[in-house]
Structure 1
Amino acid sequence: MEFLRNLLLLIQDQILGMRWLNQGIGLLLEKLGLDVTSRWGGSVHFFLYDVIKITVLLCLLILLISYIQSYFPPERSRKILTRFHGVGANLIAALLGTVTPFCSCSSIPLFIGFTSAGLPLGVTFSFLISSPMVDLGSLVLLMSIFGAKIAVLYVIIGLVIAVAGGTLIEKLRLEDQVEEFIRSARAGAVEDVVMTRKDRLTYARQQVQETLSKVFPYILIGVGVGAVIHNWIPEAWIEALLGTKNPLGVVLATLVGVPMYADIFGTIPVAEALLAKGAQLGTILAFMMAVTTLSLPSMIMLKKAVKPKLLAVFIAVCTIGIILVGYLFNGFQGFLI
């Protein structure tokens, strides 16, 4: 048992967390005459370490996830979903969302395609909630910062929100709130293209290039914000806004996260810095979920596909779910960290 525990710590700290990289960059900066304990030196250290770590992990994860995703093209995913009914269909849709695009704006075209193909509305919304909020990449990157226990719980709770949200939307029978051009455009069956192993590897490499080109600017912004929080903003300020001193911290973090646009990879360095400054765990996770699921650009795109009532229900369901999850994690933070 002790061996397994040490192995998990080794994976978390040295492989996923890349502590060796952190120490190596620190030594290099000191040899260059930069004091890493100063504000400027600490900011440079934080920035270089997190950018390199997240980029390396991201490329490896996209390569792996895209290879897996090549087995689940839209038509095959649609066929899989049509085999299930009720809550089971919502769960399968949420699980499929974990191996599909990394941001909400990329998920919406697939959501529209599934809806046009005649899949139940609640099932497609379970996919739409899960896809940006929970994916295999977020699990690994969260493990590198928060540990395996919190990362796994984050993914499980995200899936619960996706299933519960989709089920509730299904029960409300809001099919008439989907725009007419989507309801009338029933997608015909498209034969899946047979891919060889070489084709899948080529596809995976292309996805690495395309995804990295899209998300890398947000990684730089997120790490930059994290570096400022980590080294320049007083801990007392963070604790007052997002710590135990503010019972409305979860609500504030959720509302602040909604108008932003980033993916999970851009929010993680910000979350890392906030946690180090004394912000509560649930408050941080609520911020991350709000940014990835309810970003303003993705809501603008979704508005073209659904009517205001359905859009409002979707936003309300996600917001309430995220806030409840935030308070739940805050309540059990002492057992998790």
Structure 2
Amino acid sequence: MQILKEIWDFTQYQLLGMKWLDTLIGKILSSLGVDTSTRIGGSIEFFVYDVIKIIILLCLLIFFISYIQSFFPPERSKKILGRFQGLGANSVAALLGTVTPFCSCSSIPLFIGFTSAGLPVGVTFSFLISSPMVDLGSLFLLMSIFGAKVAVVYVILGLIIAVIGGTVIEKLRMGKYVESFIMMAGNVDIEAPDLTRKDRLVYSRGQMLSTFKKVFPYILIGVGIGAIIHNWIPGEWINSVLGSKNPFGVVLATLVGIPMYADIFGVIPIAEALLSKGADLGTVLSFMMAVTTLSIPSMIMLRKAIKPELLALFIAICTMGIIIVGYFFNAIQGLIV
């Protein structure tokens, strides 16, 4: 058991957490005359370490996940979903969302394609909720920051939100609130060509480079904000606003996160800094979920495909689910951290 624990700790802290990189950067900065014990020096160390760490994880994860995704083109995904009905279909749709794009704006075109292909609206919404909230990238990134227990519970609860949300939308027969041009678009059933291993590697590399170019600015912004929080904002202030002293911290974090736009790679450094300053775990995770799932740009895109009534229900379901998850994590924080 001790050997297994040592292997797990090495994976957790050195491979995913890259603590060796933090130590290395600290030594390099010290050799250059930077005192990392000061606010400015600590901010520089935090910024350099987090940017490099996230870029490494970003490139590796996207390449690996894109390779998996190459086996699930829209045509094949539609056929898989078409084999299931009811709760099973919602569950499979939520699971498929974990191997698709990393932000809500990228998921919406696939959602439109699935809906126009004739799949039940509730099923496609389970996919839409799951895709930005609980992709495989978020699982590994959360493990690198918060640990395996937090990451696994986060993903499970995210999938539950996706399944329940899609089921509620289906039971309320909200399909009539999808814009008519989506429902009448029809579907061209074209068999996806078989890809060779080389084709999949080329595709994965292209996806990695494309995603990196899109999210890199958000990584810099997110890490910069995290560095400021980590080294300049008093922990007492964070704790009073987002800690256990404020029973409405989860609600506040969710509402603050909704107007922002970033993916999991940009919001993780902010969450990490907030947690280190005394914010409750559930409050931080609610902020993350709100940013990645309910950003204003993605809601504007989604409004083009669905009517206000359905959009309002989608936002309400996601917001309520995120808040419930936040309070749940706060209640069990002592058991999993």
Q: What number of residue pairs does the alignment pair up?
A: 337
Deviation (angstroms), 1:116: 0.1
Q: Which residue of 1 aligns with 2:97?
A: 97
Instruction: Report the residue type matching 2:90 in the other structure.
Output: N
Q: Which residue of 2 aligns with 1:69?
A: 69
Deviation (angstroms), 1:336: 1.1
Q: Equivalences for 1:15-94 in 2 at 5 Å? A: 15-94=15-94
Q: Which residue of 2 aligns with 1:311?
A: 311
Counterpart check, 1:280 vs 2:280: yes
Deviation (angstroms), 1:5: 1.6
SS in 2 for 1:316: helix
Q: Equivalences for 1:207-222 in 2 at 5 Å? A: 207-222=207-222
Deviation digits for residues 227-279 of structure 1 (CA, Å, limit 9, x no counterpart): 00000000011001100110000000000000000001111100100010000
For residues 157 and 216 of structure 1, what CA distance do their matches in structure 2 show?
A: 28
SS in 1 for 2:229: helix
For residues 196 and 180 of structure 1, what CA distance do their matches in structure 2 show?
A: 38
For residues 175 and 267 of structure 1, what CA distance do their matches in structure 2 show?
A: 33
SS in 2 for 1:127: helix
Q: Which residue of 1 aligns with 2:124?
A: 124
Counterpart check, 1:331 vs 2:331: yes
Q: Which residue of 2 aligns with 1:183?
A: 183
Q: CA RMSD in A?
A: 0.5
Deviation digits for residues 138-157 of structure 1 (CA, Å, limit 9, x no counterpart): 11111011000101111111
Instruction: Report the residue type matching 2:283 in the other structure.
Output: T
Q: Which residue of 2 aligns with 1:231?
A: 231
For residues 206 and 289 of structure 1, what CA distance do their matches in structure 2 show?
A: 27
Q: Equivalences for 1:155-304 in 2 at 5 Å? A: 155-304=155-304
The TM-score, its normalising length taken from structure 2, stands at: 0.99
For residues 214 and 8 of structure 2, what CA distance do their matches in structure 1 show?
A: 32
For residues 214 and 96 of structure 1, what CA distance do their matches in structure 2 show?
A: 23
For residues 165 and 267 of structure 2, what CA distance do their matches in structure 1 show?
A: 23
SS in 2 for 1:23: helix
Instruction: Report the residue type matching 1:74 in the other structure.
Output: P
Deviation digits for residues 19-71 of structure 1 (CA, Å, limit 9, x no counterpart): 00000000000011010010000000000000000000110000100000000
For residues 278 and 201 of structure 2, what CA distance do their matches in structure 1 show?
A: 43
Deviation (angstroms), 1:299: 0.1
Deviation (angstroms), 1:308: 0.2
SS in 2 for 1:98: helix
For residues 309 and 134 of structure 1, what CA distance do their matches in structure 2 show?
A: 25
Q: Which runs of 5+ in 1 are unaligned?
A: none
Instruction: Report the residue type matching 1:103 in the other structure.
Output: C
Identity %: 70
Q: Which residue of 1 aligns with 2:148?
A: 148
For residues 298 and 224 of structure 2, what CA distance do their matches in structure 1 show?
A: 23
For residues 282 and 197 of structure 1, what CA distance do their matches in structure 2 show?
A: 41
Instruction: Report the residue type matching 2:193 in the other structure.
Output: V
Q: Which runs of 4+ in 1 moved over 6 A?
A: none
SS in 2 for 1:36: coil
For residues 285 and 2 of structure 1, what CA distance do their matches in structure 2 show?
A: 31
The TM-score, its normalising length taken from structure 1, stands at: 0.99
Deviation (angstroms), 1:187: 1.3
Instruction: Report the residue type matching 1:2 in the other structure.
Output: Q
For residues 193 and 46 of structure 2, what CA distance do their matches in structure 1 show?
A: 44
For residues 165 and 2 of structure 1, what CA distance do their matches in structure 2 show?
A: 42
Deviation digits for residues 162-214 of structure 1 (CA, Å, limit 9, x no counterpart): 00100111101011100010011111201102100000000000001000000
Q: Which residue of 2 aligns with 1:2?
A: 2
For residues 190 and 107 of structure 1, what CA distance do their matches in structure 2 show?
A: 21
Instruction: Report the residue type matching 2:260 in the other structure.
Output: M
